[in-house]
Structures are given as C-alpha cells and as structure tokens.
Homo-oligomer: A and B are copies of this chain.
Amino acid sequence: MTKKKSWAVGIDLGGTKIEIVQMDREGTLGQRRRVSTEASRGPGEVKKRLAEAVRTFVARVGSPPAGIGIGVAGLVDPARGIVKLGPNLGWRDVSLKEDLEKVLNLPVIVANDVRAATRGEWLFGAGKGLQDFVCVFVGTGIGGGIVSAGRLLSGAGGNAGEIGHMMMEVDGPPCACGNRGCWEALASGRAIGEQAQALIRQDPRQAQEILEAANGRAENVTAEAVAAAYKRGSWGATMLVDRVALVLIAGIVTLVNVLNPARCLLGGGVMDGFPDLIGKIQEGVRERALPPALENLEILPAELGSKAPVMGAASLVFQDTEKA
C-alpha cells in the first residue's frame, strides 16, 4: 500500500493493550503498532496515551489519515462517541470521540469492539458479500454482531448485538451484568475457568488433570488449563466441555431461529482453544434448529482472528454514514 493513498487508523482499545493499524478502503493493512493501555491510570491518562500513540503512528506513516475508527470492549453510544460502560477499562460514561477529535483534529468514530469485528468479517472476512449473518465471538465473555438485510443491526440506542446476555437459564449462575443465567455466565472462557474451579472443589479426583495443567494451583485454573486437560482426555474436562458445547449450541439455535441467517461465524479464544468445538456445534445446531432456518445456514469459523476488530473499526472511517 502506498502512503499517498487514502487510509484510516483502526484501533482496538482493550483493557490491557491498544492495537493500532493502518488500513486502506480495500482492507489492505499497512503499519501496525501495539501499546499498553494502562487502564489503572484512569480515562484521562488512557486518552492521552491513545492520542500520543496515534500522533506517532501518523508521523511514521507520513501522510494524514481520513479518520480514526475505535473499537471498544463495552457498551458504546456510537452517535455521541461515548463509552457508556467499559468493564475491562473500568470506564463509565467516558467521552472518547469529542476529546480525541479536539486534540487530534481528525474525525473519530467509536464502536463496540465485537460489532466492529463483525463489520470486519462482513467486509473483508468470512461474511463477505452476505446480507444476513451472525458473528459469535466466544472469548473471556461472549459478544457478537448481527447483519440482517444488508445492515449491521444497531437497535434504538446503538446497543443491539449483546448476545452474551441472552438468558439461557432462568435460575442460572450470576453474570457480571447483574442478571443470572446469561449465555456468557455459562459458556464463556471465564465461565469455563469458574466451572473448573468449582469442579476442583467438589470433585477433586475428576478435576485432577485440570489442576495439573495449572501446576496444581486451583486459583490459576482458567479455560487454558481445561483445554490442556481436555486434549489429554481428562474425563472431568470432557464433561465440562460437553456441557459448554450444549449451551453454545442452545444459544446459536436461538440466534438461528430468531434471525434466520445465511451464515453463523464463530471466533474468539474459546473457539481457538477447543478446536473440536465447532464440529460439535455444527452437529448440535443441525439437530435442534428449525428445519427452514437450517436450509440456508452455514456455520463456519471467523477468518480474521484478532485483526477483525481493528479492520472493522478502520472501515467505519470510509462508511461513516452507517451506524455500527
């Protein structure tokens, strides 16, 4: 990509790191940079670091960008460019667009990170050219986005797509959102870690291989330890993963029956860590969803991995009339 061409800054603002990329209208990536967020120093400091990083980045590219698109983990008001609730950042009602536009003198667009990732997959990945599809990202939490009739759904307040908070169990375990039985309280990476820790307390024998994978320290047991034990054929890990698969199937059946997408894309750390999960999900959804909803349906892995949010965020600069 030439430096002269129109380009955008794409940013993925996470709780621990800030990813910055250069991207052109066609999705070709140029320079990339990563800085630490240092969220603990508060929103003011993070915004300062972010502005400084963008300034350096633009100087390195050598030509001014058309604008800046930022994906943020949390609830966002895209119209006002405000982060209403960013649990990983510890933010509540932080104005991002206005402040950054002032100091950088460039248009800034703020979007939810998984909605941005959905946009990335839609324009440049496994959702290319589709009118109706759903992205499901199973990581620490569960997030996603919905494209229907060729539009990324935003809802009345810009927060459509909070699929991690579908209620899958009326009396289920508590969720970080304050409710109970949410999808991400049952089937996210965090939930897998919590379920493994509970298994260690309740049935240490079955959980032995999981515990070993975390070097015998129960408090260090996460989804990664479960994945390692699962690979070795641990019965406890297998039971746990089979249950998680069933809950993932249930949530995807809900999305498929309600939205009738042509494709359901699955991505995120849990999908990567448990490679046979996608096969289980494909089979389970085929057994359980309504036949007419299955007629046009493909369940496939997302393609862009960790590049999806930055690419989607950057693309907002070129199509800023559309909500995301």
Contacts and interface: CB of A to CB of B under 8 A. Distances in A.
Contact of A148 (B153, B251, B291): B153
B260 A159 contact: yes
A46 interface: no
Contacts of A254: 165-167, 254
A41 B60 CA distance: 77
A159 B292 contact: yes
A179 interface: yes
B153 A259 contact: yes
B167 A170 contact: no
Given A251-B167, A254-B254, A260 B156 contact: yes
A156 B262 contact: yes
A227 to B, nearest CB: 22
Contacts of A146: 258
B261 A155 contact: yes
Interface in A163-181: 163, 165-170, 177-181
B258 A161 contact: yes
A106 interface: no
Contact of A168 (B168, B246, B297): B168
Nearest to A158: B260
Contacts of A166: 166, 254, 257-258
Contacts of A165: 253-254, 257-258, 289-290
Contact of A75 (B158, B258, B290): B290
A162 interface: yes
A19 interface: no
Given A148-B160, A153-B148, A290 B170 contact: no
A153 B149 CA distance: 7
A295 interface: yes
Nearest to A295: B157
A97 to B, nearest CB: 17
Contact of A181 (B154, B250, B257): B250
Interface in A240-267: 246-247, 250-251, 253-255, 257-262
A132 interface: yes
Nearest to A146: B258
A255 B151 CA distance: 18
Q: Which 7 A-B pairs give the minimum distances between C-beta atoms? A: A155-B260, A156-B262, A167-B250, A132-B156, A160-B260, A165-B257, A166-B254
24 contacts: A77-B292, A146-B258, A148-B153, A149-B151, A149-B153, A153-B259, A155-B259, A155-B293, A157-B292, A158-B260, A159-B292, A160-B259, A161-B258, A161-B260, A162-B258, A162-B260, A163-B257, A165-B253, A166-B257, A167-B250, A167-B288, A168-B168, A181-B250, A258-B258
